[in-house]
Structure 1
């Protein structure tokens, strides 16, 4: 499989480190990280990653706000996004189904299966 470039946007350093470690060590992908929605948008525009994993709940600009900004920009609207969320309430899940996202991964996730989850959601199996 060719090397993928993934942008991880999460305000929690531990989550960024775990996701980055899994994707780099297991999948051997290049991982870019951002600590906020604003930083993530700038990196997405500049670096054009193959996919984005983004936390929903972040201070300042939420993941959903950042998602809308990414999708409004012609340079970033084609980049698939997976939302990372600890929120699994049914009403929030309904909101997620209305968004133009690749999928949702619920925290806490299993680091040993994260690469498989990301690969499946992005459709990178082939």
Structure 2
């Protein structure tokens, strides 16, 4: 859907490695992951100057506790609360990539 090439990572560590090797145009990130949460992933991602401009769409069931200012600092450009419709995710990604 959307005509994009999608890469998956099974963990935050794997995701950081994929970013290093694949240089994605955007990242869709779940806040809850095994081994590393989404905020830690973002902090580690943004520690590398090469990765500071990659836009991130955050998926979460706990969207209301996240401070918009903090998320903005971490490069989160959209938040999509779970559960969501696939069409909503595609729309969010299209907006980010345009």
TM-score, length basis structure 1? 0.69
**Match of 1:42?**
17
Choose which of 19, 26, 43 in structure 2 pairs with 1:51. 26
Q: CA RMSD in A?
A: 1.4
Partner of 2:90: 115
Secondary structure at the aligned position of 2:93 is classed as helix
Are the aligned partners of 2:63 and 2:81 in contact in 1 as well (CA < 8 Å)?
yes
More helix, by proportion:
2
Structure 2 unaligned blocks of 5 or more: none
> 1:93 aligns to what?
66
Answer yes or no: is the 8 Å Cα contact 1:81–1:102 preserved in 2: yes
Q: CA deviation at 1:97?
A: 3.3
**TM-score, normalised with respect to structure 2:** 0.87
Please give the secondary structure, in 1, of the residue aligned with 2:42. Answer: helix
Residue of structure 1 equivalent to 2:38? 63
Q: Runs of 5+ in structure 1 lacking a partner?
A: 1-25
Deviations 1:20-71 (A, max 9, x none): xxxxxx2110000001111101101110000000000112111100000000
